[in-house]
Amino acid sequence: MPADDTAGVVGVTGPHQGEQTVTAGTPLDGASAAVVLVHGRGATARGMLGMATELPDGVAYLAPQAARRTWYPNSFLEPVDRNEPGRSSGLARLDELVERAGNAGLDPGRVVLVGFSQGGCLASDFLAGNPRRYGGLAALSGGLIGESVDRDSYDGSLAGTPFFSAAARRTHTSPRGSARPRRCSTNSARMSTFAATRGWVTRSTRTNSRRSRG
């Protein structure tokens, strides 16, 4: 049964600090790996734990909750500063969970991040800004946050990190014929390109889902 706790990161303040992290699966101190499940706009951490029933046993599942069910207020394609302080506060939550796993003996190579829509964007931004070998990233209808991506501004290597990208062709918030579907596809493509330059082991696909709200 899912359990709740309250997240707190020393020295970090923001809208998402103090929100709950819902957990399921094996406790961290007895798990062989950890999966951080990051929900999308308007969704819940508890809802993301439904994925755990389709994933392996022996794994700790950690799902952080965003304040008011939204990690940041605007489109992920807006300039970064227009999505602050939510973006930075959310990134701090993910950092706290990766650190928590590390304190339980699970190094980043045994931590996988899975995010949908806003959660996929936040997880992508976290890995890009904190490069090391992770257990993997699955960005479902998500990509790097920002109006554009300057790959030269990212240092370090994510070599060997498995990366899966899935992008919707059209979302329920995008009217037919709008520029939004094209921009989503472009952002997913630039995420895949960025990943390739950092040595990630990549796989991508596109679906007809209409539920993405990055």
Q: Is residue 105 part of a domain?
A: yes
Q: Is residue 214 part of a domain?
A: no
Distances in Å between the Cα of 180 and the Cα atoms of 13, 19, 98, 122 are 33, 31, 32, 19
Q: Grade residue 191 by pLDDT with cuts at 50, 70 and 90.
A: low
Q: Is residue 50 part of a domain?
A: yes
Q: Is residue 191 part of a domain?
A: yes
Q: Is residue 174 part of a domain?
A: yes
The string of pLDDT tens digits covering residues 76-113 is 989 999 999 999 999 999 999 999 999 999 999 999 99
Write down the mean pLDDT value for the chain. 81
Count of domains forming the chain: 1
Q: Is residue 24 part of a domain?
A: yes
**What domain range is 117 assigned to?**
3-207
Residue located via tokens 């970090």: 12
Distances in Å between the Cα of 194 and the Cα atoms of 78, 91, 152, 162 are 18, 19, 10, 13
Look at residue 208 and tell me whether its pLDDT is greater than 60: no
Helix (H, G, I), strand (E, B) or coil at 166: strand
The string of pLDDT tens digits covering residues 37-59 is 999 999 999 999 988 888 888 99
CATH number of the domain residue 59 falls in: 3.40.50.1820
pLDDT at 182: 35
pLDDT at 149: 78
Specify which of 35-39, 185-189, 197-201 reaches the highest per-range mean pLDDT. Answer: 35-39
The string of pLDDT tens digits covering residues 108-150 is 999 999 999 999 999 999 999 999 999 999 999 888 899 887 7
Q: Is residue 27 part of a domain?
A: yes
Q: Is residue 84 part of a domain?
A: yes
What is the Cα–Cα distance from 58 to 193, expressed in whole angstroms? 33
Look at residue 187 and tell me whether its pLDDT is greater than 50: no
What is the Cα–Cα distance from 44 to 99, expressed in whole angstroms? 22
